[in-house]
Amino acid sequence: MSLTAEARHLPDRGSRRGARVLRSWELLLGVIAVLIFVANTQASPYFLDPWNLSDATFNITEKAMIAFAMALLIVAGEIDLSVAGIIALASTAMGWALQFDVGAVGLVAIGLGVGLVCGLFNGLLVTRLGLPSIVVTIGTMSLFRGISYIVLGDQAFNGYPSDFAWFGRGYVFWVISFELVLFAALAGIYAIVLHTTNFGRQIYAIGNNPTAATFSGIRVARVKMILFVLTGVMSGVAAICLTARLGSTRPSIAFAWELEVVTMVVLGGVSILGGAGSILGVVLAALIIGMATFGLGLLNVPGIVMSIFTGALLIAVIALPRLYRLIRTGRAA
Amino acid sequence: MIGSFVRSREAILLAALVALVLLVETRFAGFAAPGNLTRILNDTSILIILALGQMLVILTRCIDLSLASNLALTGMVTAMLNAAMPGLPVGLLLAIAIALGLLLGAFNGLLVWKLEIPSIVVTLGTLTIYRGVIFLVSGGAWVNSHEMSAAYKALPRTELLGLPLLGWTGVAIVAAFAVGVNRTALGRAFYAVGGNPGAAIYTGIDVGRTRFWAFVISGGLAGLCGYLWVSRYAVAYTDVAGGFELDIVAACVIGGISIAGGLGTVTGAVLGALFLGTIKNALPVAGISPFWQMAISGAAIIVAVGFNARRQPGRVILKPEATR
C-alpha cells in the first residue's frame, strides 16, 4: 500500500522484541475477550445458552474467513477493499446460475470461481501494472458490486436448493455448525501457513522491506498475486456460506463488510503498515467482536450502536499503548 | 505554460469530460445547454467541496474515510436543532455545523498527529463511531421536511445570477482552494509533507501538525456540507450519505490526486468530481438504469488510476518491486 511508504524507512523490527510485543498484544486481546465474556455472563442470563452462543458465531465466521486471507495480504503491505464487492458478485453469479439447475456442487464451484477470477483481476492490476492496491480495490469494489446492481437492480434471487443451504445453516455435531468448523479449520491452516512455512516468512519479509525481499530472491510480485487470489477465493467461500444462510441474493448483500473485515484484522494486531501480525490475534479479535455484538444484542442495543463499540475498540486498543508511551516519555523528558 | 497544460492530466480529464457531455448531447439535445450544465454543477457542489478537503488529506499521505459520517452527523445535529428551536438563525446553525465538523476533523487529526496512528485505521474507526453517534443523538428517528423551518431549507436553494447558493458555495470554496493551496505556506506544506516527509522536516515543516490541519480543514468542509446536504434534500436520518466516503476518494483518484501523496491539483479534484457528477446526471437522461452508475464509476476509477500511474514524475531511482 503506497499510503504507507514511510514504513520502509522504519528501522528493522528485531525479531525477539517483535515477538514480545506480539505476545503482549495477544495477551491484551485475550484479557479483553475474557472480560467481555465475564461481563456478558453477568449482564444476561441468556448468554451462556449453547444454542444462543452457536447462533452468535454466524456474526463473525464469514467475515473471519476473509479476515484470515486479508491478514496475510496486509502483512505483505497490500490491502483489498473489494472483498464485499466480490461477495456480491459471487452471490449474484450463483443466483443467476440457479436457472440452469447446476446443483449444490455447481453453485459452490461458481462461487469459488468468481472469487478466484476477481482476486486474479485485482492481483493483475496491482502486480502487473504496479498500481496502489488501496485505489485499485476501491475501484473494483464499485465495479464488482456495480455488476450485481446491473444484473439484479432492485430484484433478488431466491430459491436456493436445500442441500446448498446446508453450507450456511447446517450443523456438523450438536450446536457446532458447518461454518464454525470451517472457521476453525481455516484458522488452523492459515496459522500454519503464515507462521511455520517458508511462504509465510516471505510474506513478512515483503511487508517489512519489499526491496530487501526482492534482493533476497523472493518473487515479490508472485507472492502478492497468490495473496490477492487467495483473498478473492476466501471471499467466494464467504459468499457461499452467506448466500446459503440467507437463502437469497440482493446486490446490497454484505454491504460495507470490507471495513468490518479490515477492522477485525487491525484489531487483531496486524500492522496496517505491513510486516507484523498473527492469525491468533485475528481469531481473538473475531471472538471479541462476535461476543461484544452478541452480548450487546442480548441487552437490546441496536446494531448501529454496537458499531460505535467496535470503532472505539479499534482506536482504543491502538491508541492506549501509544498514549501511555507518550505520557511516560513526556515525563522522562 | 499553455503547452504544459495541454499535456497535463487535467487537460486530458477536461477533454474526457467535454467529450462525455457532447456524447450525451448528440443523443439527447439539451444536455449541454447552459441551464443543465449549471444544474450539474449545483448537484455536484457537495462532492467537489468534499473532494477538495480529501485532496489535502491525501496530499499529506493520509486518507479520511470518515467524511461522509462527519457530514451525516453534523447535518443531523443542525436539523434537530432547527426542528427543536425554529427561531435559531440559519447563520448560527451554519456556524455550528462548521464548528462541529472542525471538531470531528480535529479528533482524527490529533490521533494521527500525536499518537501517530495510521490515518486509515483512525478514520475507519471514526467512520463507524460518528455514524453510530447519529443514531444515539437522534434515537434512530428521522427529521423530515415539515419539521424544518422554511429559512433552513431555503438557503442553499436561493438563486443568484441563475445559480443556487449551493453552487456558489462550491465555486467559492474552489476559488479559496486555488489561492490557499498554491499561494500560502500551509498550502505548499501539504505538498511538501506528502512529496517527501523527511525533506519537509529539514525545511522546518512539522509533518504531524500539517497533517492535523489537513484533517481539520476537511472536517470543517464536511460539516459545511452536512448542513448543505440535509437542507437541500430536506431530510436527515442515520444513513445519510452512506458509502459516500468512497465516492469522495474516487473523485480524487479520477482527478489524478496520487494516493502516494504530494501530487495533485485543485483543478484535478474539481474535474474528477464533475466527471462523476456528469455521469450521475447523464444516466437518467440517456435512459440507462441508475443501477449502472456504481459499475461505471468503478470502471472509471480503475481506468483513471491506471492512466495516472504511467505518468509518474521525477526520477525513479529504484523501481518498486511491484512493477516488475
Q: What would the pLDDT profile of B145-164 be if each residue is shown by its tens digit?
A: 999 998 899 888 888 888 99
* Cβ-Cβ contacts under 8 Å, B126 against chain A: 311, 315
A188 has a pLDDT exceeding 60? yes
Pick from A289, A66, A73, A55: which is nearest to A182 by CA? Answer: A66
Map out the domains of chain B as residue ranges.
Answer: 62-185+196-243
The count of structural domains within chain A is: 1
Amino acid code (one letter) for B4: S
* Cβ-Cβ contacts under 8 Å, A149 against chain B: 291-292, 294-295
* A333: in domain: no
Give B260-304 as a 3 state SS string. Answer: CCCCCCHHHHHHHHHHHHHHHHHHHHCCCCHHHHHHHHHHHHHHH
User: Is residue A250 within 8 angstroms of chain B, CB to CB?
Assistant: no
Q: What would the pLDDT profile of A13-56 be if each residue is shown by its tens digit?
A: 444 555 565 557 888 889 889 998 898 888 888 888 888 888 88
Contact A304 B238 (CB under 8 A): yes
CA dist A140 to A126, A208, A260, Å? Answer: 12, 26, 18
* A200: in domain: yes
Contact A141 B298 (CB under 8 A): yes
B318 has a pLDDT exceeding 60? no
Strand pairing report for B159-160 and A248-249:
unpaired
Are A243 and A155 a contacting pair, CB within 8 Å?
Answer: no
A71 has a pLDDT exceeding 80? yes
* A305: in domain: yes
Per-residue model confidence (pLDDT) at position B310: 56
| Mean local confidence (pLDDT), A119-139 | 91
The H or E element spanning position B160 is strand B159-160
Per-residue model confidence (pLDDT) at position A239: 96
* Cβ-Cβ contacts under 8 Å, A315 against chain B: 111, 117, 121-122, 125-126, 129
Point out the residue among B126, B242, B299 whose CB comes nearest to the CB of A143. B299
Amino acid code (one letter) for A42: Q
Cell of B35: 441551464
Q: How far does the CA of residue A307 sit from the closest CA of chain B (Å)? A: 6
Q: What range does the domain containing A241 cover?
A: 2-328
Pick from B278, B297, B41: which is nearest to B174 by CA? Answer: B41
**Angstrom distance (rounded) from CA B2 to CA B16:** 18
Amino acid code (one letter) for B107: F
CA dist A98 to A102, A152, A252, Å? Answer: 7, 14, 19
Pick from A262, A275, A303: which is nearest to B123 by CA? Answer: A262
Per-residue model confidence (pLDDT) at position A10: 46
Q: What would the pLDDT profile of B15-35 be if each residue is shown by its tens digit?
A: 999 998 998 888 888 888 888
* A293: in domain: yes
**Angstrom distance (rounded) from CA A289 to CA A267:** 9
Indicate which CATH number applies to the domain containing A183: 1.10.3470
* A306: in domain: yes
Contact A310 B253 (CB under 8 A): no
Are B174 and B46 a contacting pair, CB within 8 Å?
Answer: no
| Mean local confidence (pLDDT), B115-142 | 91
Q: What would the pLDDT profile of B198-248 be if each residue is shown by its tens digit?
A: 999 999 999 999 999 999 999 999 999 999 999 999 999 988 988 788 889
Are A242 and A254 a contacting pair, CB within 8 Å?
Answer: yes
A7 has a pLDDT exceeding 50? no
Pick from B58, B205, B72: which is nearest to B119 by CA? Answer: B58
- Whole-model pTM? 0.85
Residue of A4, A138, A215, A219 for testing the chain B interface, max B β-carbons within 10 Å: A138
User: Is residue A155 within 8 angstroms of chain B, CB to CB?
Assistant: no
Contact A149 B291 (CB under 8 A): yes
Q: With cut-offs at 50, 70 and 90, classify the pLDDT of residue B313.
A: very low
Contact B198 A251 (CB under 8 A): no
Per-residue model confidence (pLDDT) at position A3: 44
At B140, is the secondary structure helix, strand, or coil? Answer: coil
